[in-house]
Amino acid sequence: MENTFRNHILHIDDAQIQSPHMTPLADHYAMVNSAVSLLTLLVIIAVALIAIFQPLWPLPDEGRTNAVFIAIAVSISFLLLIVYGYFAEKAKGYCVREQDITLFKGLIFRKIITQPICRIQHIEVKSGPVDRKVELAKLHVYSAGDIAQTFEIPGLPVALANAIRNDILAHKDMQHHG
């Protein structure tokens, strides 16, 4: 029996080697995440103001002033994180190719995760209550072997997430049976 395995050197300058091209997530995904974060911030501010100004255990004037300054500082920090999160979500994307699926993420430190389709053990589409309201879903890709290669592509329209899942499952079935 002849061994047909080959492992030739690839030349990076060769035109046949193609980098994956990023497809952005749904347009409204980053805005929805920012709105949820802003709503969370407003709830936190309301609870802090109620705690600071409640009449049952009044704070001394100096303590109340310090608590207000702390609440303002925390609110400004949280607002900056919301703005950063918006742009970080806008920087996320994905690419589905014939043999692999890739996740692009990171605003300051870019990270590209590529998972060969033949190594996908399980793939599922998830939607939380907010996702369902805005018709978005997450595609969760589980790797056979290493947990580091398990990732989630958020912000996909539900129909697209299901189509990608079905295409990957059909492709895996063809590899095993076809």
- Residues 48, 103 share a domain: no
Range of the domain at 84: 29-89
**Which of 89, 123, 139 is the last residue in one of the domains?**
89
- Please tell me whether residues 81 and 148 are part of one structural domain: no
Sheet containing strand 151-157, strands side by side: 120-126, 136-143, 151-157
Domain boundary among 41, 65, 89: 89
Tell me the pairing of strands 151-157 and 93-96. unpaired
Give the contacts of 1 (CB within 8 A, at least 6 positions apart).
none
The pLDDT of residue 59 is 82
Q: Does 112 share its domain with 58?
A: no
The enclosing H or E element of 62 equals helix 61-90
- The number of folded domains in the chain is 2
Q: Is 4 within a domain?
A: no
Report if residue 101 sits inside a domain: yes
pLDDT, tens digit, 9 for 90 and up, residues 154-171: 999 999 999 999 999 988
Q: Do 33 and 60 sit in the same domain of this protein?
A: yes
Question: CB of 151 within 8 A of CB of 115?
Answer: yes
CB of 101 closer than 8 Å to CB of 117: yes
**Residue 121 shares a structural domain with residue 173:** yes
Looking at the structure, tell me whether residues 137 and 120 fall in a common domain.
yes
pTM beyond 0.85: the answer is no
- Does residue 6 form part of some domain? no
Co-location of 50 and 126 in the same domain: no
Does 11 fall in a domain?
no
Tokens of 152: 């989630």
pLDDT tens per residue, range 75-119:
999 999 999 999 999 999 999 998 889 999 999 999 999 888 888
- Domain assignment present for residue 107? The answer is yes
Same domain flag for 151 and 166: yes
| Contact call for residues 113 and 127 (beta carbons, < 8 A) | no
The H or E element spanning position 142 is: strand 136-143
Domain boundary among 89, 109, 127: 89
Do both 113 and 145 map to the same domain? yes
Instruction: Let me know if residue 16 belongs to a domain.
Output: no
The reply to whether 168 falls in a domain is yes
Let me know whether 109 and 168 are in one domain: yes
Is 106 found in the same domain as 81?
no
- Cβ proximity of 95 and 109 under 8 Å: no
pLDDT digits (tens, 9 = 90+) for 71-86: 999 999 999 999 999 9
Alpha carbon distance 88, 29 (integer Å): 11
